[in-house]
Structure 1
């Protein structure tokens, strides 16, 4: 989801409560705070020695241990107020991918993509998910698109891709 799309969804649902589902049926606690907004520029080189660059907006969520008994989640209006204040200080790139950074005692720190959203009763639920890593240079490095069933074939392909003469990093 792009940053602009997130802001549009928030604007359309100002009167609702904001919940985050970080895994199926697992929600960020009501004691969460928005503790940081990062405007990131990624300059990357993939394993095929190809360069790429893009922008990301990363919003960090943190559960306050001092508020574990809290039962009311943050309102969309309050979250929007925080994000708008940040935008006045450091403008957003509205076409940037938006991610939420989150962890708790049972879930590792991760940058989660917004896969979808849902309205249930008076709640706006942002459905977050981890995206798997991927090789961006499959074609260049000769990595097959289909999953190879035999482990020997995988090892053989990886060794040929990663050899010094392969043209990959």
Structure 2
């Protein structure tokens, strides 16, 4: 198994993204995906929220909230990258009309208008030389029962290193 096989989702939430961006609202917000930065004229073309109910491959019921932010990767009118505060204002405007759960899973849909839209999850933004950088990684398919099992195994291995008698973790 390679490292990606062992990865358990570390999606950030919309609330976490907005909290981080509030620290420096004038900083340019640059998303990177497929190894490249988004072009300076990008648009937030749609923000949508969904409540999902499903049955996973282990016949376990699943339910979650998810927010999709659609980015159109274009360069027009000699623009610069959108300031973090403008991105946050767009989200606030959407929240006036659509219920956006701050703790919802956050998914980015990105296309340049030519290639098909692709789904990405976001890493925590980092402020680097006055610019917010948000790395987007392709959202892989996953098996939720396997993901839960991996999380349990990781918790056990983190807990059960060399044991001492005072440890409440391991017998």
TM-score interval, smaller chain? 0.7 to 0.9
Contact in 1 for aligned 2:109/2:117 (Cα 8 Å): yes
Structure 1: 5+ residue stretches without partners: 140-144, 146-169
The two structures have a TM-score, normalised by structure 1, of 0.72
- CA gap of 1:118–1:23, structure 2 versus 1, over 3 A, is farther
CA distance in 2, matches of 1:22, 1:127: 6
Structure with more strand by fraction? 1
- CA gap of 1:64–1:45, structure 2 versus 1, over 3 A, is same
Show the 5 A alignment for 1:89-108.
89-104=97-112, 108=116
Contact in 1 for aligned 2:41/2:74 (Cα 8 Å): yes
SS of aligned partner of 1:20? strand
Structure 1 window deviating more from structure 2 (77-86 vs 98-107): it is 98-107
Structure 2: 5+ residue stretches without partners: 1-11, 148-152, 154-171
Match of 1:126 among 102, 113, 134: 134
Total equivalences in the alignment: 137
The match for 2:32 is 21
Q: Does the alignment pair 1:4 with 2:15?
A: yes
Q: What does the per-residue CA deviation read over 1:86-120, in whole Å, with 9 as the maximum and x for residues that have no partner? A: 11111311110112110226864222111232212
Contact in 2 for aligned 1:116/1:128 (Cα 8 Å): no
CA distance in 2, matches of 1:28, 1:131: 17
Q: Does the alignment pair 1:52 with 2:100?
A: no
Return structure 1 stretches of 4+ with deviation > 6 angstroms: none
Q: CA RMSD in A?
A: 2.2
CA distance in 2, matches of 1:86, 1:106: 26
- CA gap of 1:130–1:63, structure 2 versus 1, over 3 A, is closer
The match for 2:88 is 80
Q: What is the Cα deviation at residue 70 of structure 1?
A: 2.5
The match for 2:71 is 61
Q: What is the Cα deviation at residue 130 of structure 1?
A: 1.3
When Rg is computed on C-alpha atoms for both structures, the one with the higher figure is 1
